[in-house]
Chains A and B, each alone.
Chain A
Amino acid sequence: MAVDPAQQLERSARLMELLARTALADQTAFEQLYRLTSPHLYGVAIRILRESAAAEEVLQESFVNVWHHAGSYVAARSQPLTWLTSIVRNRCLDRLRKHDVDTVSIDDEDHAMTIADRSPLPLDLLLSGAEAGAVRRCVEALDAGQKQAIALAFYQGLSHSELARHLKQPLGTVKSWIRRGLERLKACLDGAGVQR
């Protein structure tokens, strides 16, 4: 969904309108909202959950939730796609963590290969991601370890302990990569912007 800023504005305005009409129980608007955003949201869910049945369920639950709570969307606070993406990501993460107890193992050779086969690696996504210049610039400025850890967490939903195992690093190291990486990302994005 990489688009130029003008298109992005137009898309946001359109999604805002559809959300507002959805809050008025307008089913046609709701369907249009679904058509416009579900491929993106489904892509995000599949990436994190790595299982289409689970991703479908999350997508269903999310949109039923949107139908009932579209009125709680506050346009002044967030972009419509950000709001929707957060709903979906949160449900994915809740689900992953619930079943967690160390079941996710992307160290598993088979699985690693399947993912590599089907789709780009998290790090590539992170760097190609964010056409929005600022995010990209800020991500590129991170250290390699920070980048890697943040990419795996964001795109694949790995927890601190899973990251430690996957990256073969002590838990403390991984936690500090994440913490410092996020701090630097924030400083950069918020325009306080000095890189180290």
Chain B
Amino acid sequence: MNYRTPERAEALAAQYVLGTMSARARTRFARLSRRDPVLAAAIRAWEDRLSPLAESVAPVEPPASVWSTILARIDRAAAGSTPERRTVWATVSLWRGLALAGFATAVALALVLLSPPLERPAATLVVVLAGQDAKPALVASADRNGRLLTIKAVAPLSPGADRSLQLWALPATGNPRSLGLVPASGVVQIALPVDAGTALQNIPALAVSLEPRGGSPTGLPTGPVLYSGPVERLY
């Protein structure tokens, strides 16, 4: 399956979401999209476009047995060991409760230290992005030598359905550079073109602006800056 041209990738993503692919093509495309963020993004965009069509389907109340089976299955899973994810999330919510100005860096450090994997060399970049009230809203972190910037929302953000939050690198001189869209909750990883140490060299701060859905159409921030924070280098 040749999906290397953007047009082809787009057409295949559309057919995948609509559901017309044969079993083999479907399995293959699903596998490819797990490794390819461009395909994954194309799939998401098509889900956005087509899923409103599902709203005209009449709701049907499922039998009560469905819920009891779900409950039994998650209880059984919970009886095993608690997954790491829960611990990290629980920690986030605990810190969220504190929400005190000045605690920002402490929160960031706690997150970085508590997030797996612990064995990584601690050459870490951390940015705590806070709003006007100085409450931490997002934490960005990256391994100095890695190419992934991890963004985690640590407070509930509500950009609104037709808005996106966009992350910018603010250089000492010159225009802000977009780093990508950030989640209003949960966590997302942004791939950097080079290692984080180099990508954020001479970048004193990051900021998040409110943009039209999908991001700024101009390549520069168009909406208000909601959160910002200095880039801390822990090395």
Which A residues lie at the B interface, using CB under 8 A? 1-2, 8-9, 12-13, 16-17, 19-20, 23-25, 27, 30-31, 34, 38-40, 42-44, 46-48, 55-56, 59-60, 63-64, 67-68, 71-79, 81-83, 85-86, 89, 93-94, 96-98, 100, 119-120, 125-126, 128-132, 135, 139, 150, 153-155, 157-161, 163, 178-179, 182-183, 185-186, 189
Contacts and interface: CB of A to CB of B under 8 A. Distances in A.
Contacts of A178: 15, 18, 20
Contact of B55 (A2, A25, A94, A163): A2
B86 A25 contact: yes
Contacts of B153: 75
Contacts of B181: 76-77
A4 B53 CA distance: 15
A131 B56 CA distance: 8
B19 A56 contact: no
A13 B158 contact: yes
Nearest to A84: B51
B26 A154 contact: no
Given A73-B186, A186-B49, A56 B55 contact: no
Contacts of B36: none
Given A153-B18, A163-B20, A178-B15, A60 B69 contact: yes
B44 A77 contact: yes
B50 to A, nearest CB: 6
Interface stretch (B58-66, B120-128, B196-204): B58-66
Contact of B60 (A25, A43, A71, A189): A43
A61 B67 CA distance: 11
A179 B11 contact: yes
Which 4 pairs show the lowest CB-CB distances between chains A and B? A129-B56, A39-B59, A75-B184, A97-B23
Interface of B: 10-11, 14-15, 17-23, 26-27, 44, 47-63, 65-67, 69-70, 73-74, 77-78, 83, 85-86, 89-90, 93, 153, 156-161, 164-165, 181-188
A23 B89 contact: yes
A85 B26 contact: no
Which of A17, A75, A85, A89 has the most C-beta atoms of chain B within 10 angstroms of its own C-beta?
Answer: A75
A19 B47 CA distance: 18
A6 B213 CA distance: 17
A76 B66 contact: no
Contacts, number: 209
B73 A135 contact: no
A64 B70 contact: yes
B59 A56 contact: no
A76 B184 contact: yes
Contacts of A24: 86, 89-90, 93
Nearest to B58: A43
A46 B186 CA distance: 31
Contacts of B55: 1-2, 40, 129-132
